[in-house]
Amino acid sequence: MNAMNMPSVPFYRPAGDECTVFEMAQANGLPLLLKGPTGCGKTRFVEHMAARLGLPLHTVACHDDLSAADLIGRYLLKGGETVWVDGPLTRAVREGGICYLDEVVEARKDVAVVLHPLTDDRRRLVIDRTGEELAAPKPFMLVASYNPGYQNILKKLKPSTRQRFLSIGFDFPEAFAETAVVASESGLDEDRSAALVRLAGHIRKLSGMDLEEGVSTRLLIYAATLIAKGMGVERAVEAAIIEPLSDESDVQQALRDLAASVYG
């Protein structure tokens, strides 16, 4: 979990009107939910918008053990004294920044109880341990993300929570746009970036293979960065795409064969 004030605006290439929707949500005190596959640019989009709006960003990577106390805060021993330490959600409410909950469905169920009063007209954060009730200021915004295609029956965002948010659907960019992103982020020329994007397109269309998810734009940027720094294409693709996508030797070999067909 970290908070940051970004001096420059991170590169982000809009696919539609998502920047306008984000700005209108923030201006009107509305929470926003981003839905889409892992590595398609949701986190970068939030970083871009936070910097663009000049707001502090508190990012929380949600996981199985993340509890409401992790978001709100807790008493800790410091220098022999017990002091209250705000969690990232509380800091965002106090400062009027953006709190971004990445993969919110991974968090424990008690997190939703804390979020609900912040996602309706109350815009309140109740801190039972200190007896405080904080009114969220106008600049505060709650943003969450999740991957609908990766849910199972035990980890599904309840309609009672989902319907409290505005929502934007994300997907991998069109090939020309993804090529521009990969080239910009890695420093690799567009021709070689385009080859990586073509490979990704083939992998994403595969069916009947033991792949939980297609290759992310993030992994393409990793591969492109290695190539731009002088690593051979075959080794870069192995390290940044094939190995991260699967541990199964037969699947890895199929991916190698696919890469060989793309690169000739």
Helices (H) and strands (E) in the chain, counts: 12, 10
Q: How far apart are CA 144 and CA 140, in angstroms?
A: 13
pLDDT of residue 211: 75
| Position with higher pLDDT, 67 vs 151 | 67
Q: Closest Cα partner for 89 from 144, 35, 34, 44?
A: 144
At residue 116, the 3 state secondary structure works out as helix
Q: At what angle do helices 190-204 and 175-186 cross, to 10 degrees?
A: 130
Q: What residues are paired with 145 via a beta bridge?
A: 34
Q: What is the rounded average pLDDT for all residues in the chain? A: 91
CA distances from 61 to 1, 5, 18, 101, 107 (A): 6, 18, 22, 6, 9
Q: What residues are paired with 99 via a beta bridge?
A: 58, 142
pLDDT tens readout for residues 33-63: 999 988 889 999 999 999 999 999 999 999 9
Q: How far apart are CA 4 and CA 181, in angstroms?
A: 23
Could you tell me the pLDDT band of residue 5, with boundaries at 50, 70 and 90? very low
pLDDT tens readout for residues 158-197: 888 889 999 999 998 899 999 999 999 999 999 999 999 9
Could you tell me the pLDDT band of residue 155, with boundaries at 50, 70 and 90? low
CA distances from 175 to 22, 45, 196, 199, 257 (A): 24, 18, 10, 11, 21
**Taking the model in full, what pTM does it have?**
0.85
Could you tell me the pLDDT band of residue 209, with boundaries at 50, 70 and 90? low
Q: How far apart are CA 216 and CA 240, in angstroms?
A: 10
pLDDT at 6 over 50: no
Mean pLDDT of 111-135: 92
Residue count of the chain: 264
Q: Closest Cα partner for 118 from 201, 31, 189, 186?
A: 31
Alpha helices, H only, 77-216:
88-95, 110-115, 159-162, 175-186, 190-204
pLDDT at 18 over 70: yes
Among all chains, which residue has been given the structure tokens 């290759």?
215
pLDDT at 7 over 80: no
